[in-house]
Structure 1
Amino acid sequence: MAKPPERGRKRVRAVVEGRVVVDTLAPVLVWEWPFYPTYHLPVADVDLDGLPDGAIRRLTLEVEGEPVDVVRIDWDAMDQWFEEDEPVAVHARDPYVRIDALASSRHVEVAVDGVVIADSTHPTVLFETRLPPRFYLPLPDVRLDLLRPSDTVSHCPYKGTATYWSVELPDGTRHPDLFWTYRAPLPESQKVAGLAAVWTEKVDLRLDGVAQTRPRTHFEVPGT
């Protein structure tokens, strides 16, 4: 069952072509899909004349028992969004998502088509709401000779900007974008800086010698 709209508690601003066109202390969070909210902004806090054509939709929502006239703005139509004074990318942050990055001594083995790509007893495990644990490994514990830089880049509002490696096996088989790294993560994810994360949905993973079932997630692209 979809969550009802609710009032956000952050100051939200948006800028386009150097102009602040949204500045509100009363954003409305609307879960148009289950995984993260969309900001709907009170009409009074939006400069409608400064918005690109076709980028907005006006509607009335019932929020906590009261009708509220709001504007929904296409996220990508803005040059930059801010929550308080910090820029936010991709989408509004979900207030119910938590990230914990914990040092661990679990034995992590990663294999692709029977070839061991990583073997570490010093992972950092990143726990993120509604996602399987992600294992971030020290680079010396990864077969860097089998990694090939990728042009893929992704963005996360909780972790920052990730760059990717593909895996090229000794027989020449290439598996695209199996590992990624956050070289300069956001402050709440600093513990994973410079570590290599693995896309566990696409590899064979053993934890403490026990083979793991590949998780299934709602993400169909890398960067989770």
Structure 2
Amino acid sequence: MSLVAGRGPLGPDRAGWFSAPVAEPIVYVEPHPRRVQAVRDGRVVIDTEDALMVHRAGAALSYVFPVGETADLPTEPEEFAPGYVRVPWDAVDTWLEEGRTLVHYPPNPYHRVDCRPTRRRLRVEVPGGVLVDTDDTVIVFETSLAPRLYVAPTHVRTDLLRRTDTSSYCNYKGYATYWAAGDVQDVAWSYDDPLPETAAISGYFSFDADRCEMSAALPG
């Protein structure tokens, strides 16, 4: 949802500005020339390279398909793409894009994640001790999101952390594991098996600034 979410150019808290006013709300529809497949009851019910992608503020990114390419699945028309229909995400068992199994919604072609080694110092403290104090960090720049620092476990007081039952999924980083420190729940998270574009932070920790005392600074 990078175009229409958060600090994206069509989002509610856009980071930049346009040279002229843009009508709101706005819907952007574009060709999506990737192979999209849907599987239900072990049978492929959609298999096409003719999907369109719809970016709509306040809604998850979605595919729409030419009428007649959606088998007997439930559909609803897309008013801004005549001749195309949307299929509810949960109407099938599995969605795939170019062979990759998808979770929640399609990956966004405008979303990018860059992981760069940096000497920015990160210090994280919770009641009971300092969890991190190092300048050996990786900064993650992710479209529409504020940059975040990640730290290798060798620089973290992992003896003060315990795994919680919380988990989440990101289409660009994968499944996250969450960690508590003392009475502070979910103060940190990590990606044990991240997607290829974020392999540089495999096993690294990041921290929730709202749940700890955290400072980050450029190298002196």
Whether TM-score is above 0.5 comes out as yes
Cα 1:91–1:152 shift into 2, 3 Å: same
- Paired-residue identity, %: 35
Question: Partners of 2:90 and 2:57 in 1: how far apart?
Answer: 17
Question: Partners of 2:171 and 2:54 in 1: how far apart?
Answer: 17
Q: Does 1:33 align with 2:47?
A: no
* Aligned equivalent of 1:11: 35
Residue correspondence of structure 1 range 1-224 to structure 2 within 5 A? 1=24, 2-34=26-58, 37-48=61-72, 51=73, 56-63=74-81, 67-70=82-85, 72-112=86-126, 115-168=129-182, 174-208=183-217
Question: Partners of 2:106 and 2:210 in 1: how far apart?
Answer: 25
Give the ranges of 4+ consecutive aligned residues of structure 1 lying more than 6 Å apart after TM superposition.
none
Cα 1:96–1:186 shift into 2, 3 Å: same
What is the TM-score when the length of structure 2 is the normalising length? 0.80
Counterpart amino acid of 2:83?
A: V
Question: Partners of 1:177 and 1:122 in 2: how far apart?
Answer: 23
Question: Partners of 1:18 and 1:11 in 2: how far apart?
Answer: 18
* Aligned equivalent of 1:217: none
Question: Partners of 2:157 and 2:65 in 1: how far apart?
Answer: 48
Counterpart amino acid of 1:136?
A: Y
Question: Partners of 1:36 and 1:103 in 2: how far apart?
Answer: 32
Question: Partners of 2:210 and 2:92 in 1: how far apart?
Answer: 33
Question: Partners of 1:178 and 1:32 in 2: how far apart?
Answer: 32
Unpaired runs of 5+ residues, structure 2, are 1-23
Q: CA deviation at 1:145?
A: 2.3
Question: Partners of 1:100 and 1:108 in 2: how far apart?
Answer: 19
Q: CA deviation at 1:27?
A: 1.5
Question: Partners of 2:108 and 2:59 in 1: how far apart?
Answer: 8
Cα 1:202–1:209 shift into 2, 3 Å: farther
3-state SS in 1 of match to 2:68: helix
Deviations 1:184-218 (A, max 9, x none): 111111111111121234333212389xxxxxxxx
